[in-house]
Amino acid sequence: MPSYRKLAFVASDHPGADDERRRLEQLYGTCPMEDADLIVALGGDGLMLETLHRTMGLNIPIFGMHFGSIGFLMNRFDPENLIERLSAALTTKLHPLKMEATDRSGTVHSAIAINEVSLLRQAAQAAKLEIAVDGRARMDELICDGVLVATPAGSTAYNLSAHGPIIPITASLLALTPISAFRPRRWRGALISNTARVDIRVLEADKRPVSAVADHTEFRDIERVQICEDRSIAMHLLFDADHGLDERILIEQFTP
């Protein structure tokens, strides 16, 4: 059973969250984030994603407590017995996606996505995309508002809103999901191995401009994108033992 002696606390701008952060620091002490054994994040999923990006590479586990509008990646808010909860918590390991996007000038942009990489039309014209998986063309022409590649952790976010599948957190899969596909109309996407490389080429890029977004990092006027899981980066989220992330995803699949 792990022992967390040095805690760091972060809070969202949700009303009252910063007051609770200060109260928790008085109860349990605090230290700089880079010196912590564990980070406690008070807020919603947006704060969790922000904290994961800020601490990427530090190998510090994060325990989120819901104090915002959406909290799928968060535990219930309860400031009592925090040390006991942390000691009994279950750890979920996540690997992000690496995106390399080349724009029309030939500049290559790199970014990391914990939830998803999205390609989105920039103008009134629908995007026209060619999709290859591991170097083999799988769709010669997809006319759509966009397409996304989602991790299991991100499968219940934008991917689910786009009618993509929910993926169990332990599954070695990624979701490839179209956004408002016009042609072929019946294509609903695909589940692919997390070891796969997805290459997307923008057709008629001058007429149908497309942006590429890795979580919240956007690059515009993109011609091609390469997406793969980055196994060199591991992030650790802690969840209460009675309500782990795999259980939440299972519950989501049976929720009307």
**Which pLDDT tens digit goes with each residue over 154-206?**
999 999 999 999 998 889 999 999 999 999 988 999 999 999 999 999 999 99
pTM above 0.85, yes or no: yes
Question: Following DSSP, what letter does each residue of 98-116 receive, concatenated?
Answer: EEEEEETTS-EEEEEESSE
**Which pLDDT tens digit goes with each residue over 224-248?**
999 999 999 999 999 998 877 777 7
**φ, ψ at 85 (rounded to 5°):** -65, -45
Query: How distant, in Å, are the alpha carbons of 82, 107, 153, 224 from that of 210?
Result: 46, 15, 25, 10
Residue of 225, 151, 218 whose CA lies nearest to 191: 151
Active-site residue (options: 13, 35, 45, 221) = 45
Question: Following DSSP, what letter does each residue of 165-226 receive, concatenated?
Answer: PP--TTSSEEEEEEES--BSTT---EEEETT--EEEEETTTTTS-EEEEETTEEE-SEEEEE
Q: Quote the tokens at residue 159.
A: 């991917």
45 is catalytic: yes
Domains located in the chain, CATH noted: 7-94+234-253 (3.40.50.10330), 97-229 (2.60.200.30)
**φ, ψ at 66 (rounded to 5°):** -70, 115
Q: Quote the tokens at residue 172.
A: 């070695």
